[in-house]
Amino acid sequence: MLTQAAKSLFKTIDGNSIRHAFTSRKAIRVNTPSFSLNVLTSPTHSSVLHYRASVITGKKALGKSAVARNRARRRILSAAQHSFPDGAIPGHDYVFFAQPEAVTVPWSTLMAHMKNALEQVARKSPMKDLIAVDLIIPPSVQFFGPKPNSSHSTHPRRQKIRGKLRLVCSKPIRLRQIEIKFKGEARLNWRDPQKGPHSLTAEKLDAVKLLRKTRQSLLEDATLPAGVTELGFEIPISGWLCQTFKSNFLTISFLVMAKLTPTGKLAYPIRSEKELVIHKTLIPKDVACGHVPGFIVPRTQMKGERPDVLKWKFQVPKWAYLDNEIQFEGTFSQGLGGQCTINKIEVDVVQEEVYRSDTKCCPEQWQVDNSDFWVNDVTSWFFPNHALPKRHLVSSYTSPSVYLHPPMETSIPFAFPLTSRASDNASASLPLLPTSSMPRLRRVQSAPMKTLAMTTTSHPSTKTLNHVNDTISSIGFSRIQTLCSKGVFHETMDSPFLRVRQYIRVVVHVTYLGNSYPICIGLPFAVTRAIQAQPDESAEGLPTYQSLARDAERLPDYTTNTAVPDYEEDPSDGEQQQRSSRRRRRRHGPDIDDLAREIGDLAVGRVRTKSKSNPAMAAERRMDDFLVMI
């Protein structure tokens, strides 16, 4: 297949500049009076090898006349189009450098030059008899949530994908080596959305990290026979790898590559590659296969209060399905004052995205000391804010759910939809990246992510606020700014350059002692994607009643009727551990941010502990935290 395009389309060949085609010692070079031809191999994503062509028209050779340069380009591409179907070698890039004779030489002479050049390239190419390279692998691999009482955070812990490399040759070909490579890479390219792409003062983050790289040799010093040859291989995939992710600022991709190296010192290899998509979910595989009817997502109890004003208690599921809705229950009760009334409650979901170029500078790992960020490039010395993590806070296009005058001491069911795509009206007027027609994002100063305890009074004092500001400055949050915008939700994940968390924002508008003000509450949970899995029955053939009954007996204990709070102790634990846990619960529950980190560990695939979690303290958030947005 010949691609006719401008030379700007082929500025890179196999990851190198177009100048590489003229300087590489592995390139095949042919000189004619009309043009100079350099040939290199190109990686392919399809089973049938294609060929590409581009023409370079320099002013030194053809002069400053644009008419002459365009005429030379059109004539060379037209001659190549007539000659390539019979004379070109698939899987190669043909780069022509036009000479002055290309404008004035007769058409028959130009065709003779093209035919002669292609014949010389065919004689010099050691892989001219290779017709097709087909890399056959599964399109995706799936990792499910752990089973109850499992020490691992993914099921299975690792997987092996099986594939085949199919080679079609017209004649026997001798090869030095055939390799299969698996490569996972995370590429960060963050730019300040509020400034233009060419702004010198725009903050930016650029980083590349190799997540995984394996290599295995299929053949060495072998001769492929004529016809079709198939070579099988296996690639292990670990469960701790991040899922495939693509956005405007970050790309996490995994590639399976086949490399064929012919014999000869100056021989250049042929590559074929395909993308492997990794899907991860928190749903157990038994549930995804339909073996557990009536499954209920485990819930966590979260408590909190505004002293003397209001108390609250929520039952929040640990995760919710993307493109579905989050459903939870909450109960409000009077404080010691007993004069509080609730006017309305607003419920929606906030997504927090933290981009960072240095994987060591994670906001959760910053210590409360006088240490600052260390910079490792020249740009960071002149623009210190460029090295800081970037915080995006995304709210849904859907309006918050409003509940008017809810009663006290009554369980109230709440719900809010989780959409991974914008509505038709919103997507038409609000693109993902801000443009001139889109309202500018609001930039606010970040508040600490740690929950801050309130004072004994209904309003924090000046001393407390000063202490809070000192704490913010000591951990560096005062230098970080937050971008607030409308957008779509993603899955909860933790990667080297991006951390995604979701929080339920509950804004309670109360009236106490004649004063009306809102109370903001943040409840962490995880968002996962529902994956429909098919049960593997290949091991036993057709299922029988005995096999189904045996598999049902082996299923672990899942929550199917009522949601059992996670703070209840396992009866199998020792009595001493139960007493210590009860004493710890009476004193204080775990911080709500610890629960968010635990949910993030489940999403990324870290090893989790077998101990049950205690009730989380759903403490009140500050008004300048991410729970107050546009």
Give dist(CA 312, CA 302) in Å, integer: 8
Give me the helices (H) in 476-535, please: none
Q: 125-139, 521-535, 551-565: lowest mean pLDDT where?
A: 551-565
Q: Each residue of 290-333: pLDDT tens digit? A: 778 888 888 999 988 888 899 999 999 999 988 888 999 999 99
Those residues with Cβ within 8 angstroms of residue 236's Cβ, 6 or more apart along the chain or in another chain: 158, 159, 160, 214
Angstrom CA distances, 58 to 238, 390, 428, 551, 630, stand at 50, 44, 43, 72, 54
Give dist(CA 67, CA 63) in Å, integer: 10
Query: 476 versus 71: which is more confidently predicted?
Result: 71
Q: 1-15, 181-195, 213-227, 583-597: lowest mean pLDDT where?
A: 1-15
pLDDT of residue 604: 46
Query: 115 versus 299: which is more confidently predicted?
Result: 299
What DSSP state is assigned to residue 51? -
**CATH number of this structure's domain 7-125, picked from the four choices 3.30.360.10, 3.30.230.10, 1.10.472.50, 2.160.20.10:** 3.30.230.10
Under 8 Å between Cβ of 252 and 188: no
pLDDT of residue 362: 43
Q: Which two tokens stand for residue 149?
A: 């009482």
3-state SS string for 115-143? HHHHHHHHHHCCCCCEEEEEEECCCEEEE
Under 8 Å between Cβ of 42 and 93: yes
Residue 552 has pLDDT above 60, yes or no: no
Mean pLDDT of all residues in 36-61: 68
What DSSP state is assigned to residue 386? G
pLDDT of residue 357: 81
Domain 296-535+557-617: CATH architecture, name and number where available: Sandwich (2.60)
Those residues with Cβ within 8 angstroms of residue 222's Cβ, 6 or more apart along the chain or in another chain: 174, 175, 178
Assigned CATH class of 131-286: mainly beta
Do 131-286 and 296-535+557-617 show the same overall fold? yes
Mean pLDDT of all residues in 117-145: 81
Under 8 Å between Cβ of 18 and 52: no
Q: Each residue of 145-174: pLDDT tens digit? A: 888 777 777 778 888 999 999 999 888 888
Q: Each residue of 425-475: pLDDT tens digit? A: 443 333 333 333 333 344 444 333 333 333 333 343 334 334 333 333 333
In terms of C-beta density within 10 A (0-12 exposed, 13-18 middle, 19 or more buried), how is residue 28 classed? buried
pLDDT of residue 342: 93
pLDDT of residue 91: 64
Give dist(CA 97, CA 113) in Å, integer: 13
CA-atom Rg of the chain in angstroms: 31
CA dihedral (564, 566, 569, 570) positive or negative? positive
Q: What are the boundaries of each domain within the chain?
A: 7-125, 131-286, 296-535+557-617
